[in-house]
Amino acid sequence: MQNLMTSTTGTLRFPVARAVEAEEFYIRPAEHRDAAALSAVEREAFPMQWPPTRFSREVTRRRTSYLAAARELPISDYTGGPFAPQGSPRDSEAGRGILSRIAASLKQISFIDGLRGAEAPRDYIVGFVGIWFIADDAHIVSLGVRPNDHRKGLGELLLLAAFREARRYGMREVTLEVRASNSPAQALYDKYGFREVGLRKRYYIDNGEDAIIMTTPPIANVEYAISLDSLARSHAVRWGHLLQPAT
Ligand SMILES: CC(C)(COP(=O)(O)OP(=O)(O)OC[C@H]1O[C@@H](n2cnc3c(N)ncnc32)[C@H](O)[C@@H]1OP(=O)(O)O)[C@@H](O)C(=O)NCCC(=O)NCCS
């Protein structure tokens, strides 16, 4: 199957031959009506997070971007279509069958429907990244993917989208904090050239763990921009995910 892909430059479009028939994921800006779905992702990706993020406020903050990784939720999902969303880890304990996946999807919907005046979800959010633009620094405040969708290139897709935002806002570098014990996330950041620049002792209040501060080289640096572009291309060929919804 062929797919049209947009590069990180936002202009170049090239065909991608997919090795396997993949689920179609894309990135889009998170909106006010996504708040409940974002909270659900946060509970799954960051079970120890306290206090929970107030996404309804966060998505409307100035000099902030929240981006969602999502896939479409066509009507056929409710009748067991081939792209029926998967549920939370708790659901997977009860089996990964089509019924449990539909139940998980409906759970997300009814949760949202429970909010006064909430609109129906437009798709199924599997992850998000939050970025604060502080002076010339794009600070990634949160990046998480639902555990059932780990290792599908989505954390990387969200990171690529964060780089695109940083470039769009003219930021000099990208910075974040990561738990000292979080080796999957550190491997992701290493892959994208983040380097340790400091430590915040006992930063996390839940277990007193240290935070490692990591920063990229200047993103406009030619060498770094070339390596970023190459990573984006490899990711596109490997996964076929979209940096924006297909038009
Ligand atoms: C960290 C996280 C976002 C990665 O998301 P993901 O979608 O599973 O990651 P991807 O499939 O895009 O993997 C991209 C790269 O990350 C690294 N990586 C991801 N998971 C890894 C794991 N379990 N072990 C080792 N490396 C891992 C690898 O370098 C990988 O590249 P590769 O596929 O070429 O090996 C995800 O594990 C997560 O949501 N964790 C919980 C929340 C969290 O810790 N967020 C980070 C806070 S700083």
Is 223 a residue of the active site?
A: no
For 195-243, how does the pLDDT look when each residue is reduced to its tens digit (9 = 90+)?
999 999 999 999 999 999 999 999 999 999 999 999 999 999 999 999 8
**130 close to ligand 1 (CB < 6 Angstrom):** no
pLDDT value for 86: 46
**Could you tell me where the DSSP H helices lie in the chain?**
35-45, 55-58, 89-93, 98-113, 154-168, 183-191, 222-239
**Nearest Cα residue to atom 20 of ligand 1:** 184
At 14, the pLDDT band (50, 70, 90 cuts) reads very low
Query: Residue 9 pLDDT more than 70?
Result: no
Q: Whose CA is nearest to atom 24 of ligand 1?
A: 184
Which tens digits make up the pLDDT trace of 120-139? 778 999 999 999 999 999 99
Residue 146, SS3 per DSSP: coil
Residue 247: predicted pLDDT: 72
Told to judge if 44 belongs to the known catalytic residues of this protein, a careful annotator would answer no
Query: Which of 191, 233, 210 shows the shortest CA–CA distance to 14?
Result: 233
156 Cβ closer than 6 Å to some ligand 1 atom: yes
Using the predicted structure, report yes or no on whether residue 105 has a pLDDT greater than 50.
no
CB atoms within 10 A of CB 65: 21
Give backbone dihedrals phi and psi of 215, rounded to 5 degrees, phi first. Answer: -140, 150
The structural domains of the chain, ordered by start, are 2-239 (3.40.630.30)
Catalytic choice (177, 204, 209, 224):
177
CA–centroid distance, 140 to ligand 1, in Å, is 15
Query: Whole-prediction pTM value?
Result: 0.81
In short, whether 151's Cβ falls inside 6 Å of ligand 1 is yes
In this predicted structure, the answer to whether residue 80 has a pLDDT above a threshold of 80 is no
Position with higher pLDDT, 50 vs 183: 183
* Closest listed residue to residue 8, CA positions, set 182, 162, 232: 232
Asked whether 178 lines ligand 1 (CB < 6 A), one says yes
Is the pLDDT at 108 greater than 50? The verdict is no
What ranges make up the beta strands (E) of 135-220? 137-145, 173-179, 195-200, 211-215
